[in-house]
Amino acid sequence: MNGVVVIDKPAGLTSHDVVRQVKRLLKASKAGHTGTLDPMATGVLPVCLNEATKIAQFLSSDAKTYRAVMLLGVRTDTQDTQGQVIGRSDPDVSETAIRQAMRRMVGAIQQVPPAYSALKHQGKPLYRYARRGEVPDIPPREVEIFNIDVLEVERPYVTFEVSCSKGTYIRTLCADLGDALGCGACLAGLRRLKSGMFDIQAAVPLQQDGAPFPPDSLRQAVIPMAQCLPAMAEVPVDEMMAGRLRNGFQPDAGSLAGHVPAFLVAGDMIKFTDSDGELAAVAEMIIDGRTVAGSRKDDRAARVLRVFRGRLASTRP
């Protein structure tokens, strides 16, 4: 079974805990998630199964959407309510000021990753340094806030939805908003609503009525690999070509002539699917699609980045 199952992660579990449970329930040989959620957070956590772990790299860079609750007037060492309080102040700020501060965050911004995070510095996660009282000099990183909508202001709490790029820390966003407002702030609640093409409507729980979610129902929720890469142009191939790709063949102009769309340009990603619609390979175009037909047949046309075993080859005994 190869594909992605979207879990509605419960609070209190790490992303690794969720992956371990899904792997056990579905008896998968391999499993991995596409983007960490903190233990306090809930919502969309895509879990890649077996061969689909190879497409995680193409999914982790997707944009995310969150619903967050910000607590005004409180600063903590972890930038959320799970940490130690390091400052309090009067959150007497107007709703207008809150909305203006959020609007100023839209666009490309600089964020310093939080000290208590899994981001690695010199091979070690930052939280290990923080637990020893060390503060490495981490440069700010550029992230992008696509949109922020304020849903409710009930001081000291502010509920908002935010769409952002990969690598954005919502607790750091709250802390930065608190600094901009002059009262400090931290994250009090977080729910991921969307990660790339995966949204909360497709998510399934780990438990139902206090018992583990039925494995059969979980299997039915698995999304085939080819469907998980909607932004890639699809190139259907016959079984002979699928086998060649899976065995290391690098596509030339002769094999792609008449199969790739003319609008593709060098650098675009494509996905090869076999006669069953199963993902056979992911590749990057080396030449433009419109020039394929006019190229020599043995000219390299695409570079295969990942190959995937077929359904029968990947079935566990």
Residue-level pLDDT, tens digit, the chain, 317 residues: 899 999 999 999 999 999 999 999 999 999 999 888 989 999 999 999 999 999 998 887 779 999 999 999 999 999 999 999 999 999 999 999 999 999 999 999 999 887 766 666 666 766 676 677 766 777 889 999 999 999 999 999 999 999 999 989 999 999 999 999 999 999 999 999 999 999 999 999 988 777 778 888 889 999 999 999 999 999 999 999 999 999 999 999 999 988 899 999 999 999 999 999 999 999 999 999 999 988 999 999 999 999 998 654 343 33
When divided into structural domains, the chain yields a total of: 3
Looking at the structure, tell me whether residues 185 and 69 fall in a common domain. Answer: yes
pLDDT value for 213 = 81
Rounded to 10°, the helix 170-181/95-104 angle is: 130
Looking at the structure, tell me whether residues 257 and 239 fall in a common domain. Answer: yes
Q: Which domain holds residue 93?
A: 64-195
Q: In angstroms, what is the C-alpha Rg of the chain? A: 23
Q: How many CB atoms lie within 10 A of CB 108?
A: 9
* 3-class secondary-structure state, position 310: coil
Q: Give the DSSP H/E element, type plus range, for residue 246.
A: helix 239-246
Looking at the structure, tell me whether residues 69 and 152 fall in a common domain. Answer: yes
Looking at the structure, tell me whether residues 33 and 91 fall in a common domain. Answer: no
pLDDT value for 118 = 66
The answer to whether 38 is a known catalytic residue is yes
Looking at the structure, tell me whether residues 110 and 213 fall in a common domain. Answer: no
Looking at the structure, tell me whether residues 203 and 190 fall in a common domain. Answer: no
pLDDT value for 122 = 61
pLDDT value for 109 = 96
pLDDT value for 211 = 76
- Which CATH number fits the domain that encloses residue 174? 3.30.2350.10
Looking at the structure, tell me whether residues 180 and 121 fall in a common domain. Answer: yes
pLDDT value for 312 = 42
**Model pTM above 0.95:** no
* 3-class secondary-structure state, position 179: helix
**Which of the following is catalytic: 38, 80, 252, 268?**
38
pLDDT value for 230 = 93
* Cβ-contact 64, 194 below 8 angstroms: yes
In the DSSP assignment, the letter for residue 140 is: P
Q: Give the DSSP H/E element, type plus range, for residue 220.
A: helix 215-220
pLDDT value for 134 = 65
